[in-house]
Chains A and B, each alone.
Chain A
Amino acid sequence: MKILLVDDEEKFISSLAERLEIRGIDSDWATCGDEAISKVKENSYDVAVLDIKMPGLSGLELKGKLETIDEKLKFIFVTGHGSEEDYVAGCKEGCFYIIKPFKIDDLVEKLKETMAF
């Protein structure tokens, strides 16, 4: 499984990527929408884990752009808000949704469920 993590908090995703690598999950990361778009154009990922609130392109907007590049790409949304509004938005997109801070095993579980979906 190869995943792309997208979040403007660099320290958060770099540590998260390293922990996923320890668990045998090939992980790459980007700190903004434009960087994520470039990476998806150049590489093949199974799942993109997107922060909903980011400067520039939001996670929801980014999903739309990434889908046009790789229609097989699956998504999980991450947010620090945990608001009803974000939950509804994530569900509308038919995606899993996880609230920061989370346990890494919960993310791994969501990644497996997303792959099997």
Chain B
Amino acid sequence: MNKELEKFCFQGLSFFGRTNRMISHEFKNIFAIISETLGLLDELMAMSESGAKLPPGKLKSLSESVLEEIGRANEVARNMNAFAHSVDECAFEVDVNQVVELMINISKFSSASKNINIHFNKKSSCMIYTVPFFLENLIYQLIDFSMLHPGDDHKLEISVEKKNQHVEMIFFGIDKNLSEPFPPKPIKSIAQALLVKIFQPISGVIHMVVPDHIEA
């Protein structure tokens, strides 16, 4: 394997590893909440059995909290499952909207994202034939880059639109005075592999052209 290909493969594995790390961290947070809530519930019940009065509605709010966390865990597992299926085959047809939504959901597990408000302008279905895992990696890297270089209002907006033989993807809300070269090498190499054109950011906006079919 040549050095360039080796680096590229490692970058993909690194993305997969990072995503799994964030997902497992999210599960640990959920387990910690459930564990503390049930621990508190258990202690309050023991106190109640000893004659102490429970505040009205306390048991209900604690049980609702556990149910909410189970719902949250279910959502994380759903995203994890969708992500895992993206490597079922090398290339297949995907809806870019779904890939963007999945990557937004996954990037929300990153602590950095909690300071950024991400908004997705979904339009009509945007089916393309591509390498979904690479496309996910590219979109994730761009979201991550945008979160590290936010504009003044800390609001990232993504729009996707189907054109003739490509999909136009736009990221709004990047720092207007970027001091580092763009795109960074990891983004550039994935974009090249997917034949995606990424233009230099202008006034805090990144334009990207994604072909609707590539030979894998």
Contact = CB atoms under 8 A, between A and B. Distances in A.
A12 B115 contact: no
A61 interface: no
A117 B25 CA distance: 30
A80 interface: yes
A25 B21 CA distance: 33
Given A19-B43, A55-B112, A81-B21, A12 B28 contact: no
A92 interface: no
Nearest to B28: A80
B111 A12 contact: no
Nearest to B26: A80
A53 B111 contact: yes
Question: Taking chain A's interface residues, is the majority helix, strand, or loop, or is none over half, making it mixed?
Answer: loop
Contacts of B47: 22
For A16, A55, A101, the residue with the greatest tally of chain B CB atoms inside 10 Å of its CB is A101
A100 B43 CA distance: 20
B65 A53 contact: no
A111 to B, nearest CB: 16
Contact of A101 (B25, B35, B40, B62): B35
Nearest to B113: A55
Nearest to A99: B28
A104 interface: yes
B169 to A, nearest CB: 26
Interface residues of B, number: 23
Contacts of B184: none
A80 B32 CA distance: 9
Interface string A26-58: 000000000000000000000000000111101
A8 B82 CA distance: 27
For A9, A15, A54, A58, the residue with the greatest tally of chain B CB atoms inside 10 Å of its CB is A15
Contact of A55 (B28, B40, B115): B115
B36 interface: yes
Given A8-B114, A11-B65, A53 B43 contact: no
For A11, A82, A100, the residue with the greatest tally of chain B CB atoms inside 10 Å of its CB is A11
A100 B112 contact: no
Contact of B37 (A11, A22, A56, A82): A11
A9 to B, nearest CB: 5
Given A12-B29, A100-B32, A101-B28, A54 B111 contact: yes
B36 A15 contact: yes
A12 B115 CA distance: 20
